[in-house]
């Protein structure tokens, strides 16, 4: 086995999965704790629906793809049952956060809660055969499609009349979600949705000339010279590129794979911190100060998604530049994010690569990017 494939497989199975199994399961009220200190101790018990869905997805995915380990299915069920019982309002929209017992704290303003719940129900349903989960996956997916053009609904504070912006996140996530739910959906709907997403991502949000991916565009697809319109999130664009590579593989579309690889390398070169190493979180396309005070921080998910994109790009195109960059990002990540003493990865580093928050999980970091990234790198490089 390729040496990198072995490193990522071993870290996944011997470090990351056991870390979450040991520290995150709430056997009393169900669901998962995600606010975990450096050593895994729970420091807050609120339950964020993104992370409940993501962890349930991760364990069901491991069950489906790695090994039929009944403990993994059971761990997934812990989150699935909690989401079924507490996750939704009367209309089937997913709350953003709940307290430990499942009482809702924050309204369903964030459609990505629904996206990650749908992914979880789909993987768990396929793993267990539970019909209720399969039905919930489909109904939640349909609800997302209905809400997609006004995802925040009544909670939106934006007045769209004078600067009608549209965001990159939703078509990007839908392109992945659609593949996740493929066995449960109508074939034509799948093809149409994937085609629409690829078009949005690669022909609208991707600027073909600069090979940059924008986070926000005007509704007609043109650039907006505003804070939102100038915003670049290199890790986000790179993550989307490996979703595109998965679609390229499915379609055997070499041109799409090559373009996604070129965009990955371009965003990485643009986003790489030439002084301290690592990939910046946010940049302004014109070089102005971004609004995000955390712009120069180094985030775990950005680096994992980049490793996945580079591994897949190398596997699909054989471009040696992908392996050079993979080695560079690998070195940086394992030096700064990994915690050999207590396991798992830190989430947030400052620009210099020093630990900014000594946590392994919080409001946004759960059991998702680290295990998914490690699984994807392992599989992409296994036969290289």
Q: Which residues bind a copy of itself (CB under 8 A)?
A: 35, 37, 43-44, 46, 95-96, 99, 103-107, 109, 154-155, 157-159, 161-163, 226-227, 286, 288-291, 293-297, 348, 350-351, 356-359, 362-363
**Other beta carbons within 10 Å of 372:** 21
Please say which residue, 215 or 246, places its beta carbon nearer to a copy of itself: 215
CB-based burial, 46-79: b 16+ in 10 Å, e otherwise: bbbbbbbbbbbbbbbbbbbebeeeeebbebbbbb
- Minimum CB separation of residue 229 from a copy of itself in Å reads 10
Please say which residue, 255 or 293, places its beta carbon nearer to a copy of itself: 293
Tokens of 229: 């319109």
List the alpha helices (DSSP H) in 30-130: 49-65, 70-86, 111-128
- Minimum CB separation of residue 285 from a copy of itself in Å reads 12
Please say which residue, 211 or 356, places its beta carbon nearer to a copy of itself: 356
**Could you tell me which residues are beta bridge partners of residue 298?**
349
- Minimum CB separation of residue 374 from a copy of itself in Å reads 23
Q: Is 83 exposed, middle or buried (0-12, 13-18, 19+ CB in 10 A)?
A: buried
- Minimum CB separation of residue 20 from a copy of itself in Å reads 18
- DSSP label at 255? H
Please say which residue, 156 or 331, places its beta carbon nearer to a copy of itself: 156
- Minimum CB separation of residue 103 from a copy of itself in Å reads 4
Tokens of 89: 């309002």
**Could you tell me which residues are beta bridge partners of residue 166?**
217
- DSSP label at 384? -
- Minimum CB separation of residue 266 from a copy of itself in Å reads 24
- Minimum CB separation of residue 107 from a copy of itself in Å reads 5
Please say which residue, 14 or 291, places its beta carbon nearer to a copy of itself: 291
Please say which residue, 96 or 326, places its beta carbon nearer to a copy of itself: 96
Rounded Cα gap, residues 35 and 32, in angstroms: 9
| 167 closest CA partner among 238, 128, 215, 233 | 215
Tokens of 73: 């299915």
| 177 closest CA partner among 268, 113, 84 | 113
Please say which residue, 108 or 125, places its beta carbon nearer to a copy of itself: 108
């Amino acid at each position: 086995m390729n040496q990198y494939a072995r490193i990522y497989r071993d870290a996944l199975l011997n470090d990351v999965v056991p870390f979450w199994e040991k520290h995150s399961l709430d056997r009393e009220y169900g669901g998962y704790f995600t606010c975990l200190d450096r050593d895994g101790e729970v420091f807050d018990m609120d339950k964020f629906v993104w992370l409940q869905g993501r962890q349930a997805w991760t364990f069901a995915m491991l069950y489906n793809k790695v090994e039929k380990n009944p403990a993994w299915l059971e761990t997934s069920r812990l989150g699935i049952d909690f989401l079924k019982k507490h996750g939704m309002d009367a209309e089937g929209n997913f709350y953003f956060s709940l307290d430990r017992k499942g009482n809702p704290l924050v309204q369903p303003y964030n459609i990505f809660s629904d996206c990650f719940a749908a992914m979880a129900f789909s993987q768990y349903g396929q793993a267990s055969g539970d019909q209720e989960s399969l039905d919930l996956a489909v109904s939640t997916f349909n609800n997302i499609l209905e809400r997609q053009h006004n995802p925040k609904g009544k909670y939106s504070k934006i007045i769209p009349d004078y600067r009608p912006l549209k965001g990159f996140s939703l078509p990007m996530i839908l392109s992945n979600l659609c593949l996740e739910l493929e066995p449960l959906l109508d074939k034509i709907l799948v093809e149409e949705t994937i085609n629409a997403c690829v078009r949005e991502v690669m022909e609208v949000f991707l600027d073909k000339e600069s090979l940059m991916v924008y986070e926000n565009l005007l509704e007609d697809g043109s650039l907006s010279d505003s804070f939102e319109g100038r915003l670049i999130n290199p890790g986000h664009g790179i993550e989307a590129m490996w979703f595109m590579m998965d679609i390229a593989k499915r379609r055997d579309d070499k041109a799409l794979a090559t373009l996604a690889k070129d965009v990955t390398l371009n965003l990485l070169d643009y986003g790489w911190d030439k002084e301290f190493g690592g990939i910046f979180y946010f940049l302004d396309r014109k070089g102005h100060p971004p609004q995000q005070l955390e712009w120069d921080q180094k985030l775990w998910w950005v680096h994992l998604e980049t490793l996945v994109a580079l591994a897949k790009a190398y596997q699909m195109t054989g471009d040696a530049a992908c392996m050079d960059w993979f080695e560079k990002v690998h070195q940086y990540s394992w030096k700064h994010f990994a915690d050999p003493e207590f396991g798992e990865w830190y989430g947030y580093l400052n620009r210099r690569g020093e630990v900014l928050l000594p946590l392994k999980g919080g409001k946004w970091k759960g059991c998702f990017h680290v295990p998914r990234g490690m699984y994807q790198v392992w599989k992409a490089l296994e036969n290289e």
